[in-house]
Amino acid sequence: MRCPAILLTVALATLLAPGAGAPVHRQGSRHKLLLVSFDGFRWNYDQDVDTPNLDAMARDGVKARYMTPAFVTMTSPCHFTLVTGKYIENHGVVHNMYYSTTSKVKLPYHATLGVQRWWDNGSVPIWITAQRQGLKTGSFFYPGGNVTYQGVAVTRSRKEGVLHNYKNETEWRANVDTVMAWFTEEDLDLVTLYFGEPDSTGHKYGPESRERKEMVQQVDRTVGYLRERIAHSHLTDSLNLIVTSDHGMTTVNKRAGDLVEFHKFPNFTFQDIEFELLDYGPNGMLLPKDGRLEKVYNALKDAHPKLHVYKQEEFPEAFHYANNPRITPLLMYSDLGYVIHGRVNVQFNNGEHGFDNNDMDMKTIFRAVGPSFQVGLEVEPFESIHVYELMCQLLGIVPEANDGHPGALRPMLRTESALLPDGGSALLPDGGSALLPSSQPLLMMGLLGTMILLSEVA
Ligand SMILES: [Zn+2]
């Protein structure tokens, strides 16, 4: 999928990358960081709605043309990629639902938010890494922020109730106020703040609906309120703000004559299946009974032109999804607009996500503003795996091993001296950077980042 230029870039970046476990050099205070996610905000939702506050944010900071989420384009997996910098097969949160092929337990999204072993499976997200390096962090409704990792909890954490109303604008403002107090009164350094819209409205009414457009206006008002509260809290010059999302949304072909329905496939029977995870948008996983894998695979591989069924080891590597022990022997996805129905049809959403992350409808937004970011800069699209490295640079912490590249998003930033509030003190005696624990020239890293940004346009 990638052109030779990016392979060269990756190779160079690997050669130049600082060694793991390099000591942290920090001096003076640092900027704070607020990562805000509006679930399911498709990359072009601002193009058919008046969004004065998002427009102002772009003028005052950096806007990506769009951001490519990880595959599967599902809420919890993609949010965990943002805070770990890892593709989904490498961080292990492979689905919104906790499931066990042995116990057959399947838990819905909200219950899964509290299942520690689902999240704490080897990767350490940025909250914990930052805390280990002396910072204080918070998570407000952000997926993955409510459990402990290797025994460590996020400093301040809020989890929504199971029947939470995700669209209450009054509550949104109260949540923003709470986060501002975390920064000003409790001196937190990093907070991740999650809103469940416009995802819910996009599912219910469809991405082209009047209701979705109204919800985008509510999101825009909230961005305006957020920036107003940042200014009121005297944080404009000390806090970097990133507004992004997990995936896009597309219209479901509910009345198509060729729905993907397992119960109508002639050579397939659920009697051959030990465990199934179907009826979840365009994604599915199957564990056939002992000795029946080939039979099930042969029954499904050409069962429907919109359905793509693979053995785990043959799933396209470019998705960076299937190489994880939690993935079942057979997995599948369907084409844009088609969801996968299992034993009976139970999916009635007008909008859906989970599709191929190369589909434009799955692309999402990235905006950033603050003392470390350039002003009025629009950058080319990039993959969401790179946001983690950017956040570590902004916070001046040493990242965990991840799939992003340290220089990929550096062109968004002002000069190195702008990264820390006390300017020149960021420079170490040896001339290295406080943010890159390495003596590699920043120019080189900047060039690498530019190359990556350019090479991913294609
Ligand atoms: Zn989502």
On whether both 77 and 194 belong to a single domain, the answer is yes
Task: Return d(Cα 211, Cα 324) in angstroms, integer.
Answer: 38
Q: How far is the CA of 281 from the centre of ligand 1 (A)?
A: 12
DSSP letter, residue 142: -
| Residue 7 counted as domain residue | no
pLDDT at 416 (0 to 100): 59
When mean pLDDT is compared across 12-21, 85-94, 127-136, 315-324, the lowest value belongs to 12-21
Q: Stretch 223-227: mean pLDDT, rounded?
A: 98
| Residue 381 counted as domain residue | yes
Residue 229, helix vs strand vs coil: helix
Angle between helices 442-455 and 4-16 (to 10 degrees): 160
Q: How far is the CA of 450 from the centre of ligand 1 (A)?
A: 29
On whether both 86 and 218 belong to a single domain, the answer is yes
Q: Which of 348, 379, 396 is the last residue of a domain?
A: 348
Q: How far is the CA of 434 from the centre of ligand 1 (A)?
A: 34
Q: How far is the CA of 74 from the centre of ligand 1 (A)?
A: 6
As a whole number of Å, the CA-based R_g of the chain is 22
Bridge partners, residue 378, by sequence: 63
Confidence of residue 300 (pLDDT cuts 50, 70, 90): very high
pLDDT at 6 (0 to 100): 37
On whether both 114 and 180 belong to a single domain, the answer is yes
Q: Which of 348, 370, 388 is the last residue of a domain?
A: 348
| Residue 377 counted as domain residue | yes
Domain extent, residue 272, equals 260-348
pLDDT at 317 over 90: yes
- The full DSSP string for 261-321 is EGGG-TT--GGGEEEEEEEETTEEEEEEPTT-HHHHHHHHTTS-TTEEEEEGGGS-GGG--
Pairing of strands 137-140, 190-195: parallel
Q: How far is the CA of 69 from the centre of ligand 1 (A)?
A: 11
Amino acid sitting at position 453: L
Q: How far is the CA of 79 from the centre of ligand 1 (A)?
A: 8
On whether both 192 and 61 belong to a single domain, the answer is yes
On whether both 113 and 169 belong to a single domain, the answer is yes
Which residue in 107, 146, 114, 112 sits closest to 127, CA to CA? 146
Catalytic residue from among 9, 51, 73, 75: 75
Residue 391, helix vs strand vs coil: helix
pLDDT at 12 (0 to 100): 38
DSSP letter, residue 153: -
pLDDT at 436 over 80: no
Secondary structure percentages of the chain, helix, strand, coil, to 5:
35, 20, 50
pLDDT at 415 (0 to 100): 79
Q: Write the CATH number for 274.
A: 3.30.1360.180
Q: Write the CATH number for 207.
A: 3.40.720.10
Q: Is 269 a catalytic residue?
A: no
In sequence order, which residues have a C-beta less than 8 Å from that of residue 374 and are 6 or more positions away? 61, 62, 411, 412, 413, 414
pLDDT at 419 (0 to 100): 52
On whether both 215 and 287 belong to a single domain, the answer is no
pLDDT at 4 over 80: no
**Count of structural domains, the chain:** 2
Task: Return d(Cα 445, Cα 2) in angstroms, integer.
Answer: 20
Q: What is the mean pLDDT of the chain?
A: 88
pLDDT per residue over 369-398, tens digit each? 999 999 999 999 999 999 999 999 999 999
pLDDT at 430 over 90: no
Q: Stretch 116-127: mean pLDDT, rounded?
A: 98
Q: How far is the CA of 26 from the centre of ligand 1 (A)?
A: 35
Q: Stretch 410-423: mean pLDDT, rounded?
A: 67
Q: How far is the CA of 188 from the centre of ligand 1 (A)?
A: 26
Torsion sign over Cα 48, 51, 54, 59 = positive
On whether both 334 and 418 belong to a single domain, the answer is no
Compute how many other C-beta atoms are within 10 angstroms of the C-beta atom of residue 439.
Answer: 11
- The full DSSP string for 405-445 is -TTTTGGGB--GGGTSTTGGGGB-TTS-BSSSSS-S-HHHH
Amino acid sitting at position 267: N
Which residue in 285, 308, 306, 309 sits closest to 297, CA to CA? 309
Bridge partners, residue 103, by sequence: none
| Residue 370 counted as domain residue | yes
Q: How far is the CA of 198 from the centre of ligand 1 (A)?
A: 9
pLDDT at 298 over 80: yes
Bridge partners, residue 383, by sequence: 68
On whether both 178 and 288 belong to a single domain, the answer is no
pLDDT per residue over 36-86, tens digit each? 999 999 999 999 999 999 999 999 999 999 999 999 999 999 999 999 999
Please count the residues of the chain: 458
Task: Return d(Cα 16, Cα 10) in angstroms, integer.
Answer: 10
Q: Stretch 333-361: mean pLDDT, rounded?
A: 98
Q: Stretch 413-432: mean pLDDT, rounded?
A: 46
| Residue 22 counted as domain residue | no
Q: What is the pTM of this model?
A: 0.86
DSSP letter, residue 32: E
Q: Stretch 118-139: mean pLDDT, rounded?
A: 98
Greatest extent of the chain over all pairs of C-alpha atoms, in Å? 72
Percent of the chain with pLDDT over 90: 84
pLDDT at 452 over 60: no
On whether both 322 and 362 belong to a single domain, the answer is no
pLDDT at 303 (0 to 100): 97
On whether both 194 and 155 belong to a single domain, the answer is yes
Task: Report which of residues 415 and 203 the model is more confident about.
Answer: 203
| Residue 392 counted as domain residue | yes
Q: Which of 316, 348, 380 is the last residue of a domain?
A: 348
pLDDT at 30 (0 to 100): 82
Pairing of strands 377-379, 260-261: unpaired
| Residue 382 counted as domain residue | yes
For residue 429, say if its preceding peptide bond is cis, omega within 30 degrees of 0: no
| Residue 133 counted as domain residue | yes
Q: How far is the CA of 236 from the centre of ligand 1 (A)?
A: 29
On whether both 113 and 240 belong to a single domain, the answer is yes
On whether both 193 and 286 belong to a single domain, the answer is no
pLDDT at 249 (0 to 100): 98
Q: How far is the CA of 350 from the centre of ligand 1 (A)?
A: 15
**Integer CA distances (angstroms), 67 to 127, 348, 385, in order:** 22, 28, 10
